[in-house]
Structure 1
Amino acid sequence: MNKRWKIAFLSLLTLNVVIVAILAIGFLWPIEQEPLPASNPQKEAVEFHIQSNKEDLNRVIKSFLDEQKEGGRVDYNVYLRDEVELYGDIPIFSERIDYKLTFEPEALENGNVVLRQKGIKVGRVNLPVSYVLKAARDAYDFPEWVKIMPNDEVIYISLEDMELKSNLKVRADQIDLKKDDIQFTLLMPTKE
């Protein structure tokens, strides 16, 4: 009887060690990441300068995400407050855990936007930011012009690759959420 207990204990201990090792390897495995896309400046376009605010952009973002949700492509929410807030959930084992990521937006010289990770809340557990970004990238079908870069803890939004009606393009000029000052340039191609 004593020998059976030893075998059962050692089997259970071995199983626990294997599970912990698999989880550790999964968490520590390097995350593959694509390089930032090259900029393609819009040639022969008329520029329209637009100034907006968080309230209006939140309505646009909600409309876009609602449209994407109808196709079953997304299940996350984005809000502009004093920071950009991304809400969603990620699968961990057989459960889905809620998370909230906050980002500081920056308009780049090429007109694209980078969201630099600022804060994270994942249920009640502190997980590495890169893990949560990778899990979000893998769990959701983000548009091609949104690149999640877990190693750098940023989300790169390539506005120049965003497809709009009538071949319009958008370039971010200024994003200051605390002052509610958001400026874009709308580029309308011409046939000269």
Structure 2
Amino acid sequence: MHSRSINGWKWAFLTLIGVLVLGCVLIFFLFSSAAGDSGDTGSQGGSTNGEFQEYFTVQATTGQLNQLLQEEAASEQVDIQFSGSTAEVTAGIDFLGRTIEAAMQFETEAVEDGNLLLTLDRVSVGAFSLPNQQAMSLLASQADFPEAVEVDTQNQQIRIRMNQITIGDDYSLRVERFQPEKDDIVFNVGK
């Protein structure tokens, strides 16, 4: 029988990969603890007084945000695109055997509390424009929104409460800057 020889390069490669992964994890924890220390004198590992404690920042371009939204909305048959400071949501509505395109345009704004505010600019179904007030009332009564989305029909606005959207182990988001027209989109991730 053949005796199995140990391939030295294989073990060297696996050891190198292990060291690199361990190094990346160590660097991540060092940076995340440094971000926690640079703020106020809050407690470690999360804030006990209800204030947001930032762990790291995520920067994205408008193209990256559009790609992420397309991937997430693909199963919903909805298209969401940012162009300049405008967000456009389009969807096909089946009516009498034909698909009619419905579109809503919103002006976007990051508000001071870290949330995102969308103000309705226009609504169209096919070639027809609809009154914004009635369209928002219909949207609020017919659509099933998550708890983090608040529809204000009076002011024709949708507030996305980013701090109520949880990721992983109770991490949440806050919008620091949201200027898609300048490719400047910055989110803070923390607890």
Coarse TM-score class (shorter-chain normalised): 0.5 to 0.7
Corresponding position: 1:112 with 2:115: yes
Distance 1:154 1:138, change over 3 A: same
Amino acid in the other structure paired with 1:84: A
Of 69, 72, 77, which residue of structure 2 is paired with 1:64?
Answer: 72
For residue 167 of structure 1, report the CA deviation from its aligned partner: 1.0
Corresponding position: 1:141 with 2:144: yes
Q: What is the alpha-carbon root mean square deviation over aligned residues?
A: 2.7
Using the size of structure 1 for normalisation, the TM-score is: 0.63
Amino acid in the other structure paired with 1:79: Q
Amino acid in the other structure paired with 2:121: K
Residue ranges of structure 1 left out of the alignment (5+ in a row): 1-40
**Count of matched residue positions in the alignment of Structure 1 and Structure 2:** 142
Q: 1:85 aligns to what?
A: 88
Q: How does 1:93-108 map to 2 (within 5 A)?
A: 97-108=100-111
Amino acid in the other structure paired with 2:150: K
Identity of matched residues, %? 23
Higher relative contact order (CA 8 A, sep 6+): 1
Distance (whole Å) between structure 2 residues aligned to residue 46 and residue 60 of structure 1 = 23
For residue 75 of structure 1, report the CA deviation from its aligned partner: 4.5
Distance (whole Å) between structure 1 residues aligned to residue 123 and residue 130 of structure 2 = 9
Q: Does the Cα contact within 8 Å between 1:61 and 1:78 map onto a contact in 2?
A: yes
Amino acid in the other structure paired with 2:61: N
Amino acid in the other structure paired with 1:103: F
Write the deviation string for residues 60-100 of structure 1: whole angstroms up to 9, x where unpaired: 2223323xx3xxxx453311122111112568899875321
Q: 1:52 aligns to what?
A: 60
Distance (whole Å) between structure 2 residues aligned to residue 119 and residue 43 of structure 1 = 36
Residue ranges of structure 2 left out of the alignment (5+ in a row): 1-48
Amino acid in the other structure paired with 1:125: F
Of 76, 92, 97, which residue of structure 1 is paired with 2:78?
Answer: 76
Using the size of structure 2 for normalisation, the TM-score is: 0.63
